[in-house]
Amino acid sequence: MRKTLPTRRAAVPAEGRRCPRYRRLYRYQLARDELARRFGARPVNVAAHFVNHLHALVDARTKPTWETVLSADIAMDRSRAAIKLGEYVEQAWQLTV
């Protein structure tokens, strides 16, 4: 049986509530600047750190290759490739945070 995605109307919250998925990012720069001013915060590219850790985990072993890991992203659910990718992702995320 094929799952269907909820319609936009079904995804809209009840009256008076806001839905964070539809928030605009127009105030992002203001928030970023304020965090830097108040706390000396610096932007961090978490995705880049995660991919670097993932790549390092894969490179540390002879198998799988980086190309194999990338192709596992479209593997069938519960397949060995998907399960192994999940393990690598979990390890990389733990190194990232």
Amino acid at 55: H
CA separation for the pair 34, 14 (Å, rounded): 32
Provide the residue type at 18 as one letter: R
Domain coordinates of the chain in residue numbers?
9-39, 46-96
Which stretch of 19-23, 27-31, 92-96 has the lowest confidence by average pLDDT? 19-23
- Give 71-79 contacts, CB < 8 A, sequence gap 24+: none
Q: Spell out the residues 6+ positions from residue 32 whose beta carbon is closer than 8 angstroms to its own.
A: 43
Q: What mean pLDDT is predicted for residues 31-52?
A: 93
Counted residue by residue, the chain has a size of 97
Residues 6+ apart with CB under 8 A from 97: none
Structure confidence by residue, pLDDT tens digits, 58-76: 999 988 899 988 888 788 8
Mean pLDDT of 2-12: 48
